[in-house]
Amino acid sequence: MQKVKSAYIHIPFCVKICTYCDFNKYFIQHQPVDDYLTCLIEEMSWAKETNLTTMFVGGGTPTALTVDQLERLLSAINKQFNISGEYTFEANPDELTEEKVALLKKYGVNRLSLGVQTFDEELLKVLGRSHQRADIYSAVRNARKYGIPSISLDLMYQLPGQTMQQFDESLTEALSLDVDHISSYGLILEKQTQFYNLYQKGKLNMPNEDLGAEMYHFMIDKLAQHGLQQYEISNFAKEGHASAHNKVYWKNESYYGFGAGASGYVEGVRYSNTNPVNHYIEQVKAGKRPIRTEETLTLNEKIEEEMFLGLRMNEGVNKLRFEEKFGQVLDDYYRDELQNLEAKKLIYNTPTHVALTEEGRVIGNYVFEAFIK
Ligand code: SF4
């Protein structure tokens, strides 16, 4: 059984709720944040493996915590785990004060993922973000001042009323910061968001899908021209800066998930933790693992996941690893599917890898479905 070498920690609190957001998060005011941290620390202490190669603290927004809460969490993580590689914290630009960056640095955080979304002041307001354009610059300045070696920016496109020119300007500004990693996602209208309600009432001017696709291709070219190569459907990095933690997910490897609503994959079992926060706290205080769902994957399910997660990466699925993991030859297991997709020019099938072509990437979900038996 594969050893767990990665962990995700979920901080489900935000100082402001964005209009498009359907993530697992709560408005921080009146939330039992200290109790939550106590339980999170307790849950982490139940982990069998303590030597990790990657750690990702996300949310919600981890930087919504106060300085004291943040220090409590950071120090507990360091007591529990020895993190030898990439250690990422998600942060909102307006919350990344010098004091907080100094703390993150002191406890070994070596990568920041900044929720920028756009540099356009008007669009930031439309998205309901708590930060302004200037905050992005000061967050990056603070991160560099305290020697955080790696910075990633999260961007969005296909936003309400967004023109190609506005998106281009945001990309230009992001590139001017010379960061080593960018993640960029097209807006998807999710139910139970303010955006969705506005859209239903005909009050949200969404760009059409063609413009969204145009923005996507424009972005791939523009980022590549500036040394940020696409390595996954929505992720771009300078040489050597692809996210090691995210690759754990896409390579279908094991990881712990700690916190309310967090998911994990341990010893062939996919699980998700209970939510909401109060329920999670009750479970942990009662000494119970706060599990909401747990599923032991069959060999067939593991193989399917290996394909559709691995195909998200430009490098694709490694055939040798596939054989080592599952005792099956990929070309035999998916003979008809591979032939069919290759004939449609949706995949490359090389002696070592199966990967999506440019066309395949545009209709990735269709290709992934072909591998479900
Ligand atoms: S900061 Fe992130 S998690 Fe919080 S509401 Fe906005 S998008 Fe959602």
Q: From the centroid of its chain, how far is CA 99?
A: 25
Q: How long is the chain?
A: 373
Cα 17 to middle of ligand 1, angstroms: 6
Share of the chain above pLDDT 90, in %: 94
- How far is the C-alpha of 279 from the C-alpha of 290, rounded, in Å? 8
User: Mind spelling out the 3-state secondary structure of 9-25?
Assistant: EEECEECCCCCCCCCCC
At a CB cut-off of 8 Å and minimum separation 6, what does 336 contact?
Answer: none
The tokens of 34 are what? Answer: 């200290």
Q: Report the atom number in ligand 1 closest to the C-alpha of 16.
A: 5
Q: Report the atom number in ligand 1 closest to the C-alpha of 20.
A: 7
Q: Using an 8 Å Cβ cutoff, are 190 and 22 in contact?
A: yes
Show the domains of the chain with their CATH numbers.
6-251 (3.80.30.20), 317-370 (no CATH)
Ranges of the chain whose pLDDT falls below 50 = none
In this structure, the residue with its CA closest to atom 3 of ligand 1 is: 60
**DSSP category for residue 332:** H
Mean pLDDT of the chain: 96
Q: Using an 8 Å Cβ cutoff, are 203 and 189 in contact?
A: no
- How far is the C-alpha of 25 from the C-alpha of 14, rounded, in Å? 7
In this structure, the residue with its CA closest to atom 5 of ligand 1 is: 17
Q: Report the atom number in ligand 1 closest to the C-alpha of 128.
A: 6
Write the pLDDT tens digit of every residue in 155-197. Answer: 999 999 999 999 999 999 999 999 999 999 999 999 989 999 9
In this structure, the residue with its CA closest to atom 8 of ligand 1 is: 21
State residue 368's pLDDT score: 94
Cα 60 to middle of ligand 1, angstroms: 5
pTM: 0.95
State residue 373's pLDDT score: 85
Among 13, 16, 18, 22, name the best residue to mutate to test ligand 1's pocket (greatest count of ligand atoms within 8 A of Cβ).
18
Beta bridge partners of 318: 353
Q: Using an 8 Å Cβ cutoff, are 99 and 132 in contact?
A: no
- How far is the C-alpha of 373 from the C-alpha of 365, rounded, in Å? 15
State residue 41's pLDDT score: 98
List strands edge to edge, sheet with 111-117. 229-232, 235-237, 181-186, 150-157, 111-117, 82-91, 51-59, 6-11, 256-258
Write the pLDDT tens digit of every residue in 280-296. Answer: 999 999 999 999 999 99
Q: Give me the DSSP letters along 244-305.
A: HHHHHHHTT--BEEESTT-EEEETTEEEEE--SHHHHHHHHHTT---EEEEEEPPHHHHHHH
| DSSP H or E segment with residue 118 | none
Which residue in the block uniquely carries the two structure tokens 């990439």? 86
State residue 207's pLDDT score: 86
Among 13, 15, 17, 192, name the best residue to mutate to test ligand 1's pocket (greatest count of ligand atoms within 8 A of Cβ).
17
- How far is the C-alpha of 156 from the C-alpha of 167, rounded, in Å? 9
State residue 302's pLDDT score: 95
Write the pLDDT tens digit of every residue in 304-344. Answer: 999 999 999 999 999 999 999 999 999 999 999 999 999 99
In this structure, the residue with its CA closest to atom 6 of ligand 1 is: 18
State residue 101's pLDDT score: 98
Residues with CB under 6 A from ligand 1: 14, 17-18, 21, 23, 25, 59-61, 92, 115
